[in-house]
Each structure stands twice: as structure tokens, then as C-alpha cells.
Structure 1
């Protein structure tokens, strides 16, 4: 493989998909994908996530090289020749890769790098709510209600790796049938149920409960619902797509169902 230094070599093919980052496919005997980031914190986080995933042999691209201090920051990842998994097969095909990711433990809560590390999951969730209300003060009432509900449940968990940006297009299948998860900029350590709740928001579901198998414990369903409300608040406060933001605001404005949450012992 030719030396990878973050510069775009002659003959590279740009495969940017409309986001703030720019991405190129570099061919050759050992092809790779070069990604330039507009946000250094996201670059640092994706590099850390890919390094951890590569170490564990997880279903993701391999991190080849990175320089998150460069201008612009960049990563080089193994090229993935694959097609997105879509439609009715998506949730079934996601189960295996997601279980492998969630089996990877962490040492703290929140982003892997480029952001504050939190000692507890509750502390991380409170920090997110603070961000959303600072960005969108009109959401303060909904955020306060969610904070009260979060403080009534047991959130003492061990940190597990989360993709935290699950959506159709981020799960792909290679020609030989291997399933991989792409785009790890938002990876974090936390509760695996948060991944399922975020996916429910991305799929525009009116309830997140379809993300769980029949017979899931009431406490599990309660936690999933709380995380779903949190991710709706995130979109209502931070989404740049007007349609996504409007959808989130509409669901956030709905009356909260009667509380069935078990109080924290």
C-alpha cells in the first residue's frame, strides 16, 4: 500500500454524500477510503471508535491511519465493497452486528474521544438534556419532564459501545454476505437500549416498542421509551434538516403517557 498521509492522491474518486465531511475512494492493490472532517471532535471520536472496533475484530471498517490534529483532520479506513441493507430485512440483519458491538465494554460514558467523559450514564444523559435546552429554550418544559422521569429509574449500568447513529444505509452487506456497520462519528459508551431508541427515531416510528422482542420486561420498555424521548429532543433541538426537526417537535409536543416507571430504589 502506498504511504497514507491524508492528502487526496491523483485518481481518487470522491464519494461524499452531502454531509459536511468529504470522502474519497482510493483504488489500487489495497484500496481504502479517505475521510476529511469539518469537526475535529467527530474525527477524534470516529478514529477512537474504529481503533477499538478494529482491535475487537468487530463488524466495521478497519482503521488504517488517522491524524485528528491535522488541518483538516482525517481518517483512512479499509474500503468496503458492499450494498446497504434496506427494507424488511434491515432489523433482522442488524441483530448480529449490533450484538457484537454491544459486547464491547468501555471505561466511561459518552463519546469515546473529543468530548467530556462522564462517570455515570445518568450524568451523561443530564448533560445531553442541558445541551438541548441551552440550544432550544422552548424545549425546557419537555426536557424537565424527561429529567424527572429519568431520575425515577435505575440507570446503574456498565458502559457498552453504541453506534448511536443507526439508520438504513449504515448497515451494508458485502458480496460474500458479511454484514458491516459504517459511520462511527457519533459512537458512545452507554446503554445498548439507547441505540434501539435512536433507530426508532430515525425510522420515524410513532413508538419505539417495535425495537423489542415480545415479552420484554416492563422496566426495559420503560427505559427504551425514555431514551426515545431523549433522541426526539436531540432532533428537535439540533437537527439541521427542517423535516426531521418538525417531525421530532411534533412527537415531543404530544402528551406524555401516564407514568408507569418504577422508582429507583
Structure 2
């Protein structure tokens, strides 16, 4: 079957409410077809999947993509897999996430479709600028976080981050590996940022309990700062009003 981004007859839509549309394409060589509302996200996910495929990482393989078409699309490999139950999510995430975080990066920030940054600090400052431009009411908490970020050592080697970890993005192949899906927000940076973002997605009151055994005091400090940054992101950008309200409530108490 030729993959050209069109939805063939007999395709089964499996879109789950996000802005994108997703189909399962059956046949002798089944695949997942994804159409994107934001071309930049398509570009980034295609770059992430190509890198993951190269490293034989625990993710779908990129089969084809056309990020310049309207709509932009990717075709990804599909396996017989099911979501890991929420109660087992953290335990089963450890192995796949370690494999992902072992992949080195060439810069900081999104892999493609966005500005590249020479340092992790530059990337974090850029994110804070975006959040305050979107939500000026967050200027005070963002300024406090910026000052705290400038007090810690952020000279790290860039590593691949999923940056959208949450239950439903980890799948289990029967008698096989665990696979991480949905790489639109992938970036190069500090692996602790992945854990902090996960803590926010799980609506935890602290990030310290999320896969952080054996962290140094410096690591714990960075983790807490990233957690505050991801809370500000949700407070500024979340489209779900419940998520936004939760982030705003926690953000209000993070100025130290």
C-alpha cells in the first residue's frame, strides 16, 4: 500500500480529542496516519521519530512524512499494544525513559520547527518570555523563577526529552517492549525537566516522588525549578480550564 498522507477507504479514526486527527490504517502493512493542525508540531515529531528510529528506541518507527503539505502528516508503525494501566505507569516507565534520556542532542529546545538555543538557560528564559507574553499576570512569578534559575548551575549536556509524559502515552506490547507515543513536544535538554513535567501532568503537589531516587541536592533543586516552570506553562497555555486553575493555584504558592 502506498503511503501518501491521504486517508484510505476503510481507515478507522482513533482521534482522542486533541487538535490532531489520527487513523489506524489496516491491510497487510498497517500503520498510524496522523494529520496535524500545527505544522511545527508535525515537523518536530517527524524529527523525533526519525532520531528514535535511528537509535532503535522504545517508540514507533517513522515510515513516511510530509510536513510541508496541508495538513502536515506522519505515518508511524503500529503494533498490537495496549496502554499501560495508570497504576503501573511509573514502574513501567523507568526502562523506556532511561533509553530515551541516553540519546544525546545537538542543541537545546525542540528538535525542529522552532528556534534552537545554544544553552539550556537560554531555552528556559525563552519559555518564560513566551508564557508572560501570553499571560502578563504571571510576570511576577516568572521573574522570581528566572532569578532562581540564574542562581543554579545549568551547564548540562543536552539529552532527548519526551516532554509530554503522562498515562496513555506508554504502551505495552504483549510479551514485548514498552513504547512511548506522541513525540510532538520532544526537545533536547535536562532529563529532570521530563520528570518535572510528568509531576505536573499527574497533578502532584511536589515533583520529588516521581522517579527521583538518588538525586543529588543540586538535582533536587533543578527538579523543583523545572516543576515551577511547567506549572507556569500550564497556567499560561492550558486550554483545559481545570488544568489551568490547578496550575494557577500551585503557582501562586511557589514564590520563595
TM range (shorter): over 0.9
Aligned length: 256
Deviation at 1:245, TM superposition (A): 0.2
Structure 2 CA distance, aligned partners of 1:216 and 1:136? 33
Partner of 2:6: 7
Q: Residues 189-200 of structure 1 correspond to what in structure 2 (within 5 A)?
A: 189-200=188-199
CA distance 1:97–1:255, shift in 2 (3 Å):
closer
Deviation at 1:3, TM superposition (A): 0.9
Structure 2 CA distance, aligned partners of 1:243 and 1:73? 30
Partner of 1:262: none
Structure 2 CA distance, aligned partners of 1:198 and 1:9? 37
Structure 2 CA distance, aligned partners of 1:88 and 1:217? 27
Deviation at 1:34, TM superposition (A): 0.3
TM value normalised by structure 1 = 0.95
Partners of 2:232 and 2:251 within 8 A in 1:
yes
Partner of 1:51: 50
Which deviations, in whole Å up to 9, do the C-alpha atoms of 1:39-63 show, x marking residues without a partner?
A: 0000000000000000000000000
Q: What secondary structure is seen at the aligned counterpart in 2 of 1:66?
A: strand
Q: What secondary structure is seen at the aligned counterpart in 1 of 2:48?
A: helix
Alignment gaps of 5+ in structure 2: none
Q: What secondary structure is seen at the aligned counterpart in 1 of 2:253?
A: coil
Partner of 1:166: 165
Partners of 2:145 and 2:255 within 8 A in 1:
no
TM value normalised by structure 2 = 0.98
Structure 1 CA distance, aligned partners of 2:17 and 2:179? 21
Q: What secondary structure is seen at the aligned counterpart in 1 of 2:16?
A: coil
Deviation at 1:178, TM superposition (A): 1.5
Using the TM superposition, name which of 122-131 and 82-91 deviates more: 82-91
Which deviations, in whole Å up to 9, do the C-alpha atoms of 1:112-154 show, x marking residues without a partner?
A: 0000000000000000000000000000000000000000000
Structure 2 CA distance, aligned partners of 1:85 and 1:13? 22
Q: What secondary structure is seen at the aligned counterpart in 1 of 2:249?
A: helix
Partners of 2:162 and 2:186 within 8 A in 1:
yes
Alignment gaps of 5+ in structure 1: 258-265
Structure 1 segments, 4+ long, off by >2 Å, are: 212-216
Partner of 2:139: 140
Q: Residues 144-159 of structure 1 correspond to what in structure 2 (within 5 A)?
A: 144-159=143-158
CA distance 1:120–1:13, shift in 2 (3 Å):
same
Aligned-CA RMSD value = 0.9
Structure 2 CA distance, aligned partners of 1:130 and 1:227? 15
Structure 2 CA distance, aligned partners of 1:115 and 1:255? 29
Q: Residues 79-158 of structure 1 correspond to what in structure 2 (within 5 A)?
A: 79-158=78-157
